[in-house]
Amino acid sequence: MDVIFTIIKQDLEVAKKGIEVDKPEILSFVGNRIMMNLFVADEIKLMLLGYMIRELGGELLNIKINRNDVYLKTKTESISYLNDLQAQIDSGSLDPKIYWNKFSEMEGKLRKNLLPEIGSWVQVVEKCHWNQMESA
């Protein structure tokens, strides 16, 4: 498991670098790599780490494109989150609950920046839906 943790720590460094250079799409590749390495190592319960990194990348990209006003703050929070994951890995933590709790905390921060955009999308979809129903 030490080898896998070493590889994951290296992957997290790549993810942080991707965020630093404004390439959050890199996190998708990193997340997939983490999931595959954990699958091969038969550490299925920790594959969620890869999922979390992929989700972070997609949400960061969305914020970069649609909410540039909060992007810098979100980048900082994301790097801090990755540092927290790295600290858990350094400690040898195999408890998925710890990773889920950290992910939940990060999601709360991200959703504050995503929900206003998503809310406006929902309103547009509802208007389109109602317009289609009225014309039918």
**Using one digit for the tens of pLDDT, what is the confidence trace for 8-55?**
999 999 999 999 999 999 999 999 999 999 999 998 999 999 999 999
Contact 102, 88 (CB under 8 A): yes
pLDDT at 128 over 50: no
pTM of the model: 0.80
pLDDT at 115 over 80: no
Of 15, 30, 19, 1, nearest in space to 91 by CA: 1
pLDDT at 125 over 90: no
Of 50, 44, 60, nearest in space to 94 by CA: 44
> What is residue 124's predicted lDDT score, i.e. its pLDDT?
45
**Using one digit for the tens of pLDDT, what is the confidence trace for 58-113?**
999 999 998 889 999 999 999 999 999 999 999 988 899 999 999 999 988 888 88
> What is residue 52's predicted lDDT score, i.e. its pLDDT?
96
Q: In sequence order, what are the residues at sequence separation of 6 or more whose Cβ sits closer than 8 angstroms to the Cβ of residue 56?
A: 15, 24, 27, 31, 78, 81, 82, 106, 110
DSSP assignment of 36-75 equals HHHHHTT-GGGTHHHHHHHHHHHHHHHHHHH-HHHHHHHH
Contact 33, 50 (CB under 8 A): yes
